[in-house]
Amino acid sequence: MRLGIVVNPDAGLGGKLGFKGSDGRAEEARAAGAEDRAGPRMQQCLNHLVTLDKSSLNRSQVGLELLVW
Protein backbone atom coordinates (compact mmCIF):
# COMPACT_ATOMS: atom_id res chain seq x y z
CA MET A 1 0.00 0.00 0.00
CA ARG A 2 1.36 3.42 -0.94
CA LEU A 3 0.46 6.38 1.18
CA GLY A 4 1.17 9.96 0.19
CA ILE A 5 0.61 12.73 2.71
CA VAL A 6 0.66 16.49 2.38
CA VAL A 7 0.89 18.52 5.58
CA ASN A 8 0.12 22.22 5.75
CA PRO A 9 2.87 23.57 8.04
CA ASP A 10 0.72 26.59 8.93
CA ALA A 11 -2.33 24.57 9.99
CA GLY A 12 -3.42 25.45 13.51
CA LEU A 13 -0.82 28.18 14.04
CA GLY A 14 -3.24 30.88 15.12
CA GLY A 15 -5.52 28.74 17.27
CA LYS A 16 -3.89 29.23 20.66
CA LEU A 17 -3.44 32.92 19.92
CA GLY A 18 -7.14 33.39 19.13
CA PHE A 19 -6.53 34.39 15.50
CA LYS A 20 -9.58 32.40 14.31
CA GLY A 21 -7.59 31.12 11.36
CA SER A 22 -4.06 31.92 10.39
CA ASP A 23 -4.44 32.16 6.60
CA GLY A 24 -1.97 34.81 5.52
CA ARG A 25 -0.94 35.44 9.12
CA ALA A 26 1.60 32.65 9.66
CA GLU A 27 4.53 35.04 10.01
CA GLU A 28 2.59 37.15 12.51
CA ALA A 29 1.55 34.06 14.47
CA ARG A 30 5.13 32.76 14.66
CA ALA A 31 6.37 36.21 15.76
CA ALA A 32 3.77 36.10 18.54
CA GLY A 33 5.14 32.76 19.77
CA ALA A 34 3.00 30.24 17.90
CA GLU A 35 4.61 26.84 17.47
CA ASP A 36 4.20 24.26 14.73
CA ARG A 37 1.38 21.85 15.59
CA ALA A 38 0.84 20.08 12.28
CA GLY A 39 4.34 18.59 12.01
CA PRO A 40 4.45 16.97 15.46
CA ARG A 41 0.90 15.66 15.06
CA MET A 42 1.74 14.08 11.71
CA GLN A 43 4.89 12.54 13.20
CA GLN A 44 2.80 11.00 15.97
CA CYS A 45 0.29 9.67 13.42
CA LEU A 46 3.04 8.12 11.27
CA ASN A 47 4.64 6.51 14.32
CA HIS A 48 1.31 4.84 15.15
CA LEU A 49 0.83 3.79 11.54
CA VAL A 50 4.26 2.13 11.39
CA THR A 51 3.53 0.36 14.69
CA LEU A 52 0.24 -0.96 13.29
CA ASP A 53 1.97 -2.06 10.09
CA LYS A 54 4.39 -4.20 12.10
CA SER A 55 1.76 -5.56 14.50
CA SER A 56 -0.37 -8.69 14.40
CA LEU A 57 -3.33 -6.47 13.46
CA ASN A 58 -1.90 -6.37 9.92
CA ARG A 59 -3.27 -9.83 9.18
CA SER A 60 -3.03 -9.51 5.42
CA GLN A 61 0.62 -8.45 5.73
CA VAL A 62 0.08 -5.48 3.45
CA GLY A 63 3.38 -3.68 3.08
CA LEU A 64 3.39 0.02 3.79
CA GLU A 65 5.34 2.39 1.56
CA LEU A 66 5.41 6.02 2.62
CA LEU A 67 6.00 8.57 -0.12
CA VAL A 68 7.47 11.75 1.30
CA TRP A 69 8.93 14.87 -0.20
43-53 tens-digit pLDDT: 999 999 888 88
What is the identity of the amino acid at 61? Q
pLDDT in tens, the chain (69 residues): 788 888 888 887 777 777 766 667 777 888 888 888 888 899 999 999 888 888 888 888 888 887 776
The structure's pTM equals 0.67
Q: Where are the domains of the chain?
A: 2-67
pLDDT of residue 32: 84
* Residue 29 pLDDT: 81
